[in-house]
Amino acid sequence: MTEHFTDGNPIMATKISPLPAKALQTEARFIETEPYYEAAGNEIALFEAAYASQLPVLLKGPTGCGKTRFIEHMAWRLKRPLITVSCHDDLTAADLVGRYLITGNETVWVDGPLAHAVRSGAICYLDEVVEARRDTTVVIHPLADDRRMLPMEKHGELLQAPPEFLLAMSYNPGYQSVLKELKHSTRQRFVAIEFQYPASALEEKIIRTETGADSATAAALVRLAQMTRNLKGSGLDEGASTRLLVHAAKLIARGITPAAACHGAIAEALSDDPEMLQAIDEFASSVF
Ligand SMILES: Nc1ncnc2c1ncn2[C@@H]1O[C@H](COP(=O)(O)OP(=O)(O)OP(=O)(O)O)[C@@H](O)[C@H]1O
Ligand SMILES: [Mg+2]
């Protein structure tokens, strides 16, 4: 059977263009085995205290520094299902809340991921929230303050979030343009946790644990990362993240030479500029 969606009142299925059914599928994940996460500071205690106080949480920090891994770890720790929504510039309030689904002659309401998370007392993680359309803040605001309510206008329902529900979102203050900054009325509803690249010893440990790399390889990769991080703002928009170091170490573990691994996993991921690529290759040969 073909399924069609509409935002408003149900209309004949033949008159509306089908949206992908996946857009509304909400995947609540119970994480059963502990996701490996190295804490850099008091972020675990802070998150637990925010959760116990029913306060929403904002994870700030550059790409690849452990935000997603952290939320997975916390969902496991708090034994709550996790629903992640990757926000994009077409994401509307209806995508989060839900909409009517028309199948044949029948019209059924289908919860979006946010409504599903509220009903099931899950952790809802809105990844890269500034990318979402402005109207999403209309539904987030009453949920993120002490009302903890999700208005579902089209369905004529007002959901009250149970104490187990938590709203979390991520935000990368670095790249977003002025237009895409989080509004104060949004950000001032959240307890913010700042993420940075881990300190050297911790980052080396993460690389070793994630990839089985030896100490010398992990240390060299961290030195290389620091060189690229120093170029932030003078040729590079971002330095190499922990994620990129993990990628390079994985390639090295499979027998790729360090030079080729760093070129493919780090240099090319950071820049397209031939001079910058050469500079990063030279950094790599200086540390290996
Ligand atoms: N503190 C940490 N503990 C364990 N692994 C980490 C940590 N920080 C980073 N990593 C490693 O770095 C990788 C990237 O981290 P993650 O996907 O959590 O980044 P992110 O901050 O969510 O990035 P983005 O903003 O691009 O989504 C992880 O898959 C993991 O291998
Ligand atoms: Mg992430």
Cα–Cα distance, 246 to 248 (Å, whole number) = 6
> If pLDDT is split at 50, 70 and 90, which confidence band does 1 have?
very low
Sign of the Cα pseudo-torsion (243, 246, 252, 257, in order): positive
pLDDT score, position 26: 61
Q: Quote the pTM value.
A: 0.90
Q: Report CA(192)–ligand 1 centroid distance (Å).
A: 17
Q: Report CA(210)–ligand 1 centroid distance (Å).
A: 11
Distance from the first to the final alpha carbon of the chain:
59
pLDDT score, position 15: 40
Cross-strand partners of 5: 101
Q: Exposed (0-12), middle (13-18) or buried (19+): which is 183, by Cβ within 10 Å?
A: exposed
Q: Report CA(7)–ligand 1 centroid distance (Å).
A: 36
pLDDT score, position 183: 86
> If pLDDT is split at 50, 70 and 90, which confidence band does 129 have?
confident
Q: In degrees rounded to 5, what are phi and psi of residue 193?
A: -120, 125
pLDDT score, position 103: 83
Sign of the Cα pseudo-torsion (69, 71, 76, 80, in order): negative
The residue among 180 and 130 whose pLDDT is bigger is 130
Q: Is the pLDDT of residue 9 over 50?
A: no
**Residues above pLDDT 70, as percent of the chain:** 89
Atom of ligand 1 at shortest range from CA of 59: 21
**Whether the CB of 172 sits within 6 Å of ligand 1:** yes
Q: What is the mean pLDDT of the chain?
A: 89
Q: Report CA(10)–ligand 1 centroid distance (Å).
A: 42
pLDDT score, position 163: 97
Ligand nearest to the CA of 244: 1
Q: Is the pLDDT of residue 216 over 90?
A: yes
Q: Is the pLDDT of residue 13 over 90?
A: no
**Whether the CB of 171 sits within 6 Å of ligand 1:** no
Architecture of domain 3-194: 3-Layer(aba) Sandwich (3.40)
Structure tokens of 5? Answer: 């969606």
Cα–Cα distance, 259 to 240 (Å, whole number) = 15
Give residue 89's region: left, alpha or beta (phi > 0; psi -120 to 50): alpha
**Whether the CB of 125 sits within 6 Å of ligand 1:** no
> If pLDDT is split at 50, 70 and 90, which confidence band does 176 have?
low
